[in-house]
Amino acid sequence: MDRLLNLLGDGSLSRYLIALVTIPIVLLALYRYLLPKPIPGIAYNHEATKSLLGDVPAMIAEVSQTGEFRVWCAKQVRKMNSPICQIFIKPFSQPWVLLSDFRESRDILTRRHKEFDKSSFLSDGMACMGAFHGIYMTDHKFRANRQLIQDLMTSTFLNGHVGPAVYNKGLELMRLFETKMKLARGRPFSVKKDYEYASLDCMLEFAFGKNWVDTAVGEQLKVVGGLTENSVKIPVSVDEPVEFPLGEIVDFLKSVYEAPEIVEKTINAIMPKLQTWWWSKQGWYKKIFDDKEKAMKDQVAIGIRNFNEGKIETGLEHMLMREAARAEKDGREPDFESQVFRDELFGDIVGGHHTTSGAMMWLTKYLTDDPSIQSKLRSVLHSTLSAAHQENRLFTFEEIRHAKLPYLDAIIEEMLRINAVPVTREAVVDTTILGCPIKKGTQVFFMSNGPGFLSPSFPVDETKRSDTSKLSKRANDSWDESQDLARFDPERWLVRKTDGTGVTADDVDFDGAAGPQLVFGLGPRTCWGRRLAHMEMKVIIAMLVWTFKLEKAPVELSGYGGLEGIARVPKKCYVRLVKL
């Protein structure tokens, strides 16, 4: 009792009671303060605002199973029944905005780039790529890097240097396919790695030409070519796949594989800058980029020697030429040893290899699963490249590059449409989208696999569109939405010139602006390498259909599940080939 009286006397008990009441109130206030805060006027999942983690648990539950963030996002758009909605993915941060309206997306990407620029969380995730143009805002560094590589998408360079190399790599890939086909004896086999290796070799030819001697497909041919029927394990069932061993690739090529995996994991990290710093101290991380630096320095040295001798053929040598011209204009010595050369070209190799190989896998799957499209394409190739067909030989590169093949162009465009990943931008000023306030720093995802793309568009109040959007309405803002927009239908992209059903250049024209498309982005940050990617797909897929009949693989080896990263790639890509 005396102790209690003492406590009352000196005020300790009162302070204790005040603390007992105040601390829970403060904690509750802090909890409520940290809860997700929706942007006014934009649809959202109300349950997500009741948890500090927002939409994260629901998102992880699905994406951990599917590997596809874009599919979960498209479901949110449909669930909220609105062309603009918000999700809460980064705790204690601003919500992410999903926009599923092509017209407004196009307007922002092409006309409002002073309001929206490169997403900082993507730049942070790509920090390992160094001085690659893709990590920069659309500023002087971005433009300077783009200027260095501007010669590499010209018709002269693509048709004179890259095209013949792609053609030769396609021939090598067809030999690998034929060797596997014979050993598999009518059974399916995976071509996932084969396409990855072929695209990787194409990018190495693009960058270094014959200065680079270690190939990926060549190593696979050595290994598979050394096998005999007795040394290959053939399953009893004709529907069971044959597994082939992989040839070893050199360390630099491994670094090209591993760099995008680092980027993807870093982008998804809670604190990407801290993760990059921590990983940079690890031996495995250092090895990847040490191997990259060694190979790139060696190639730059060869390129400088060739440039000084007046030999300018490869992508790297053209970059050196551009730097020399820029230095002369600026009144300085050229900086051929700059880190920019190594990082820029490495980034181009990584991006081009990863995206184009996945695209060729998707094309193979669609052509396999729709024999009528495959047969029609083969017929178009034979009639268009009639001399080669009559002479019972494969077309040459010059023949395929000059050939007008609107149906093949449409097949490629339709594949890209269906498998596009969201384009992302960050608001760099306070602004609006469809009349809704968007604060500086907000991440905006331009969805291309939801309403307006793979399902009918949502109606939009025209008065809420931006002024530039109101002035830019076009006929191709949406498809004929009575069609099944999720179905693979290349003829969406064709404009008929004659009656009938023919799809040669005499019958149809290809219209790349026939409908909504965001796969390469739009505006000043449009994908730089799209012409190279299209050439590679056109040559190699034409070779595939000309050389083989693609028969269906079993259901368990098929399907259209994908994995998202720099691009969307199939989880599986099996073929059952018959030589024609």
202 annotated ligand-binding residue: no
| DSSP code of residue 92 | T
Instruction: Output the CA–CA distances (angstroms, integers) from residue 437 to 14, 135, 429, 458, 460, in the order listed.
Output: 47, 27, 11, 20, 16
Q: Which two tokens stand for residue 284?
A: 């495995």
User: Residue 434: CB partners within 8 Å, gap ≥ 6?
Assistant: 83, 84, 99, 101, 104, 460, 461, 464, 465
421: phi then psi, degrees, rounded to nearest 5: -95, 160
Instruction: Output the CA–CA distances (angstroms, integers) from residue 519 to 136, 202, 239, 421, 477, in the order listed.
Output: 20, 21, 34, 7, 15
**HSE value, Cβ hemisphere, 13 Å, CA-based, for 156:** 6
Q: Do residues 422 and 523 make contact, with C-beta atoms less than 8 angstroms apart?
A: no
Q: Do residues 447 and 74 make contact, with C-beta atoms less than 8 angstroms apart?
A: yes
User: Residue 515: CB partners within 8 Å, gap ≥ 6?
Assistant: 417, 476, 478, 479, 492, 493
Residue in the block written with tokens 């009656």: 499
494: phi then psi, degrees, rounded to nearest 5: -105, 145
| DSSP code of residue 492 | G
What are the residues facing 43 on neighbouring strands?
Answer: 85
End-to-end CA distance of the chain: 102
d(CA 370, CA 304): 49
Q: Do residues 204 and 215 make contact, with C-beta atoms less than 8 angstroms apart?
A: yes
578's enclosing H/E stretch is strand 574-579
d(CA 414, CA 376): 15
Q: Is the dihedral of CA 235, 241, 242, 246 positive or negative?
A: negative
Residue 12 buriedness (CB in 10 A; 0-12 / 13-18 / 19+): exposed
Sheet holding 423-427, edge to edge: 84-87, 96-99, 443-446, 423-427, 116-117
d(CA 102, CA 481): 14
206: phi then psi, degrees, rounded to nearest 5: -60, -45
Q: Do residues 415 and 573 make contact, with C-beta atoms less than 8 angstroms apart?
A: no
d(CA 391, CA 371): 25
Q: Which two tokens stand for residue 227?
A: 């096998």
Angle at 355 between CA 351 and CA 360, to 5 degrees: 145
- At 206 the three-state DSSP class reads helix
Q: Do residues 180 and 244 make contact, with C-beta atoms less than 8 angstroms apart?
A: yes
Show binding-site residues for heme: 527
Binding-site residue set: 527
